[in-house]
Amino acid sequence: MRDADRQLPLAGEIFLDHVGHFVRDAQAASRALARLGFAPTPVSVQMNPGAGTPTGTGNVTAMLSRGYLEMLFKTADTPLGQELDAAAARYPGVHLVAFSVADAKAAHVRLAATGFRMRPLVEMQRPVNTGSGQGTAAFTVARVERDEMPEGRIQMLTHHTEDMVWQPRWLAHPNGALALTRVVIAVADVAEAAGRFARFTGRTARTAEGGRTIELDRGRIDILAADAFAALLPGLPVPSLPFIGAYGLAVRSLASLEARLAAGGGATRRLDNVLVVRFPDELGHGAWLFTEAGVS
């Protein structure tokens, strides 16, 4: 299956849009990203449109030519901020996986029809500096109720302001990062989790080594048993299950990336055509799986 080569989905497509690390210190997370060759955006505080009140979280992002990485931190003691605290207490690291669709409202209806308990559809905004003034990034987000997806904050969204979110000045990374390609989740019950993610995404889960894989129109989800995850990433502790423990990034050159990471103090390990890099402490538990663009 060839990934769609555009930032946003059309019609019934579904893309792996971004992953979110829950972090304690936004500035420390930003410095860690920069140290390892990413070009992080400035800190942004998310607001509820109309009311002008904080949602309870803010972010720093690393925008990619396809998808992005988000570092989320607490800004207020709201239900959303409290959820972030609770998840980070279980383990610091990735607790959010977001899929983009053309119509979040339709996705909300579909998810409810397939048996998910849904929260109300949410319109979200965050201020964006455009380099020549202030702009606004706007999203519609479809979320399930807490514990419907125990892996974390698993959600659908529709982007309304592509140009605000993916500004060209933030897409060039010294480490050559280009695209978010996959997310790897360790679970206690592969069949149950894979069935639930298949129902959530509307895509089929196929058998793969150690678990199941769900191919999307861009990106994929790998759901592994704990022992298969440990075999894939030996030496990476699994703090608790379920665990969103790794995700894939395509880069221009693995050789250039290795040199950059070595200069920034990042420890690397090769697994065939994959370069495994543990997250720095500032980003929590887990690992990046880097591959060279065009090499599967």
**Same fold across 14-169 and 177-292:** yes
Look-up of token digits 């309304």: 160
Task: Give the pLDDT band of residue 1 (cuts 50, 70, 90).
Answer: very low
pTM summary value: 0.94
Instruction: Average the pLDDT over 11-20 and give the result.
Output: 97
CATH architecture of the domain formed by 14-169? Roll (3.10)
CATH number, span 177-292: 3.10.180.10
For residue 133, give the amino acid letter: G
Give tens-digit pLDDT for 87-142.
999 999 999 999 999 999 999 999 999 999 999 998 888 778 888 888 888 999 99
Query: Residue 277: which region, alpha, beta or left (left: phi > 0; alpha: psi -120 to 50)?
Result: beta
Distance between CA atoms of residues 152 and 148, nearest Å: 9
- What does the domain layout of the chain look like in residue ranges? 14-169, 177-292
Residues 6+ apart with CB under 8 A from 102: 8, 9, 10, 11, 12, 13, 158
- The token pair that represents 143 in the structure block: 């979320």
Q: What is the reported pLDDT for 132?
A: 85
Whether the pLDDT of residue 173 is over 50: the answer is yes
